[in-house]
A and B are shown apart, each in its own frame.
Chain A
């Protein structure tokens, strides 16, 4: 048993972390968040590196690497709160690749894999999906509905931009007529499970960053003549943040691995990972605000971007309670 990354995977991780530390500095993230637009220059660079297609099969224009590699990138993008539409694009591509026909994959995936087409994935009820991340700039939208999934071009849907609390990634409400677009008839559930894992991975990165910022802050900030981090009320909060983060990391690693190596266990693993990550995401970033004290509540302290990203990601494709309800279904039938 080996939880470690391969040399190639570590190289992907290192490259991604270094690149984003340089290109997605906090002030740059804030600048784009305040303007409510994505970072086009960074996005083009990531596309040139092939990031959107990292897990897409080579015959559809991707790099043909695994879900573990995609999770590595998602985690790094979460860490940086990068204002790029990579997650919504890979979520759409994931469902298309699993649930689309050969012809649909060959037609739709190359654009998503190269990043030329932006994607979005939303859960719709009676043709309406609210707060679909990435929708305003998406050329292709995948809608998950009670009776299956369908893919629509941006001409086939109405997209109304809305102000998400997380402006680092613009979102919109999507409305589609009944029967519009084309159905995806294959393994929709397998696509959703893999999508859940990608979102969970991003949350792990968000948590890791929130903890790192908090530890740094409470070591520096002094009250009563000592660093506030030496008080157990504060240091034990940080320990709890680590525990929550590591729970999310371990279950997400297992689910990423299962997606490629043991798909039979993926359904349960994905629900566990998203349950643990959604809970960790909200609690760890909220804790980060609390541990920063008054400064944590200000716009200038960048910790709130993490909280907002975590809230949106936690809700994406169902929050912790929804995932636990699904797990309880599984437990009831085993």
Chain B
């Protein structure tokens, strides 16, 4: 047992921290709405890219630094610590690129990886549908072969960044006569065609991080099938596994910062002398440290022993629950300001409701823990 970082890892952290200190992003735009905000994040990714920091986890041959899992987690911790935004093309960098590296052919890798890295082409993820959320494999978007193309029709939802995207990682049904997991194919769909309509989905915070996609006979050339026809579920699992890695470290650092801010405010207002507030804040502190330890344990166990433990599913569950408790307590400590639109407190409070839904609902995570970690019998599903 050694809960310290190696000299090499510390040097990696120091180098990045120093770079971030001297190369901050431009000031966050106060006008121009979400488009200006997105452009700002795109510029930020270019800056990271120019310095070789856009995707340290990618192998050097694709423009990364071949960073280890630990270094990659350090990278996200430091982005969180520096309070800088995530790169604009985060889905391409974290999900699309790594999926292509596993399942893509040489031509696809050659064509797509560089523009993902440089933020020249933004990627989005077209998996969920109105009737296929937790039960993703039941999705209905259909792709039918027509000459050298696939013709796709259907509807996708929760597609973040779709309005800025050139490419969509699209999961569609290519065979309706086989069990639901076996009839799926993973496509790269060009978003720049009239057959694909993007409609922003306004969320409870008032902004629109996500979109709905309406796809009506969109055409996808067969060279844009990833991993083979009928193999889409396996390819999608690669994407989904990447979804839970890395990013979590940035989120948990943000949680820590929000807790530190809340504690500072409580201290200022003399509330740490109040037993009820003190107990609630200390509990959040224990949770926050548990998340950090469990996340690092999960990651380093994989890195060192090749064996993922139960931590992966537990960390997201615990993080989302803790963030909700924290933002609710913070609202009590802050007072009325936390209930006024436009303050960061009210934003965090409302945004946190999505945490226990996005990227796997807490209910589904509990099912996964019960079935795959504890080996409890599976609930018999209909269909």
Q: Please report A residues at the B interface, Cβ cutoff 8 Å.
A: 1-6, 9, 68, 211, 215, 218-219, 226-227, 229-232, 235-236, 238-240, 242-243, 246-247, 250-251, 253-254, 256-258, 261-262, 272, 275-276, 321, 323-325, 327-328, 331-332
Contact assessment for B304 and A2 in the assembled complex, using a CB-CB cutoff below 8 Å: yes
In whole angstroms, how far apart are the Cα atoms of A1 and B299 in the complex?
10
B178 CB within 8 Å of chain A: no
Known: A219-B376, A227-B377. A1 touches B285 (CB 8 A): no
Known: A3-B300, A257-B1, A272-B289. A229 touches B283 (CB 8 A): no
Question: Distance in Å from the Cβ of B51 to the closest Cβ of chain A?
Answer: 26
Question: Distance in Å from the Cβ of A326 to the closest Cβ of chain B?
Answer: 8
Contact assessment for B317 and A243 in the assembled complex, using a CB-CB cutoff below 8 Å: yes
In whole angstroms, how far apart are the Cα atoms of A226 and B293 in the complex?
37
Binds A, one of B2-10, B118-126, B131-139: B2-10
Contact assessment for A2 and B285 in the assembled complex, using a CB-CB cutoff below 8 Å: no
Contact with A along B340-383 (1 / 0, CB 8 A): 00000000000000000000000101110111011111111000
Contact assessment for B282 and A275 in the assembled complex, using a CB-CB cutoff below 8 Å: yes
Contact with A along B225-253 (1 / 0, CB 8 A): 00000000000000000000000000000
Contact partner of B376 among A218, A243, A321, CB < 8 A?
A218
Contact partner of B294 among A2, A229, A232, A246, CB < 8 A?
A246
Known: A68-B1, A251-B289, A324-B282. A1 touches B366 (CB 8 A): no
Known: A3-B297, A230-B377. A242 touches B282 (CB 8 A): no
Known: A229-B376, A230-B377. A276 touches B285 (CB 8 A): no
Contact assessment for B314 and A246 in the assembled complex, using a CB-CB cutoff below 8 Å: yes
Contact partner of B3 among A1, A239, A272, A323, CB < 8 A?
A1
B114 CB within 8 Å of chain A: no
Contact assessment for A229 and B275 in the assembled complex, using a CB-CB cutoff below 8 Å: no
Contact assessment for A1 and B296 in the assembled complex, using a CB-CB cutoff below 8 Å: yes
Contact assessment for B290 and A276 in the assembled complex, using a CB-CB cutoff below 8 Å: yes
Contact assessment for B379 and A232 in the assembled complex, using a CB-CB cutoff below 8 Å: yes
New A-B contacts (16) at CB < 8 Å, excluding given A227-B376, A236-B366, A247-B290: A2-B304, A3-B300, A230-B378, A232-B379, A235-B371, A235-B376, A235-B379, A250-B293, A251-B286, A275-B282, A275-B286, A323-B282, A325-B282, A328-B281, A331-B285, A332-B273
Q: Which residues of A contact B367 (CB under 8 A)?
A: 232, 235-236
Question: Distance in Å from the Cβ of B46 to the closest Cβ of chain A?
Answer: 32
Contact assessment for B377 and A239 in the assembled complex, using a CB-CB cutoff below 8 Å: no
B129 CB within 8 Å of chain A: no
Contact partner of B293 among A239, A253, A332, CB < 8 A?
A253
Residue of A nearest to B370 (CB): A235
Contact assessment for A328 and B282 in the assembled complex, using a CB-CB cutoff below 8 Å: yes
B70 CB within 8 Å of chain A: yes
Contact partner of B377 among A219, A261, A275, A276, CB < 8 A?
A219
In whole angstroms, how far apart are the Cα atoms of A242 and B367 in the complex?
12
Contact assessment for B300 and A246 in the assembled complex, using a CB-CB cutoff below 8 Å: no
Residue of A nearest to B305 (CB): A4
Q: Which residues of A contact B267 (CB under 8 A)?
A: 331-332
Question: Closest 5 CB pairs between A and B?
Answer: A328-B278, A324-B282, A235-B370, A327-B282, A250-B293
In whole angstroms, how far apart are the Cα atoms of A227 and B379 in the complex?
10
In whole angstroms, how far apart are the Cα atoms of A160 and B120 in the complex?
79
In whole angstroms, how far apart are the Cα atoms of A246 and B310 in the complex?
9
Known: A219-B377, A232-B367. A1 touches B2 (CB 8 A): yes
Known: A238-B374, A239-B369. A6 touches B1 (CB 8 A): yes
In whole angstroms, how far apart are the Cα atoms of A39 and B153 in the complex?
72
Q: Which residues of B contact A257 (CB under 8 A)?
A: 1-3
Question: Distance in Å from the Cβ of A215 to the closest Cβ of chain B?
Answer: 5
Contact assessment for A325 and B279 in the assembled complex, using a CB-CB cutoff below 8 Å: yes
B78 CB within 8 Å of chain A: no
Q: Which residues of A contact B2 (CB under 8 A)?
A: 1-2, 257, 261
Contact partner of A215 among B279, B290, B318, B376, CB < 8 A?
B376
Question: Distance in Å from the Cβ of B85 to the closest Cβ of chain A?
Answer: 27
Contact with A along B9-21 (1 / 0, CB 8 A): 1000000000000
Question: Distance in Å from the Cβ of B45 to the closest Cβ of chain A?
Answer: 28
Contact assessment for A3 and B301 in the assembled complex, using a CB-CB cutoff below 8 Å: yes
B272 CB within 8 Å of chain A: yes
Q: Which residues of A contact B376 (CB under 8 A)?
A: 215, 218-219, 227, 229-230, 235, 238
In whole angstroms, how far apart are the Cα atoms of A92 and B105 in the complex?
65
Q: Which residues of A contact B287 (CB under 8 A)?
A: 247
Question: Distance in Å from the Cβ of B342 to the closest Cβ of chain A?
Answer: 29
22 sample A-B contacts, Cβ–Cβ < 8 Å, listed by A number: A3-B3, A3-B296, A4-B301, A4-B304, A211-B374, A215-B374, A219-B376, A227-B377, A232-B363, A235-B374, A246-B294, A247-B286, A247-B294, A250-B297, A254-B293, A257-B3, A261-B3, A262-B3, A324-B283, A325-B279, A327-B286, A332-B278
Q: Which residues of A contact B286 (CB under 8 A)?
A: 247, 251, 272, 275-276, 324, 327
Q: Which residues of A contact B70 (CB under 8 A)?
A: 1
- Among A5, A6, A236, A257, max chain B CB count under 10 A is at A236
Contact assessment for B285 and A327 in the assembled complex, using a CB-CB cutoff below 8 Å: yes
In whole angstroms, how far apart are the Cα atoms of A328 and B294 in the complex?
22
Known: A2-B1, A68-B1, A235-B376. A328 touches B279 (CB 8 A): yes
Residue of A nearest to B70 (CB): A1
- Among B1, B289, B311, max chain A CB count under 10 A is at B1
Contact assessment for A239 and B370 in the assembled complex, using a CB-CB cutoff below 8 Å: yes
Known: A230-B377, A251-B290. A5 touches B314 (CB 8 A): no
B54 CB within 8 Å of chain A: no
- Among A218, A219, A323, A327, max chain B CB count under 10 A is at A327
Contact assessment for B272 and A331 in the assembled complex, using a CB-CB cutoff below 8 Å: yes
B263 CB within 8 Å of chain A: yes
Q: Which residues of B contact A276 (CB under 8 A)?
A: 286, 290
Known: A229-B376, A238-B370. A328 touches B272 (CB 8 A): yes
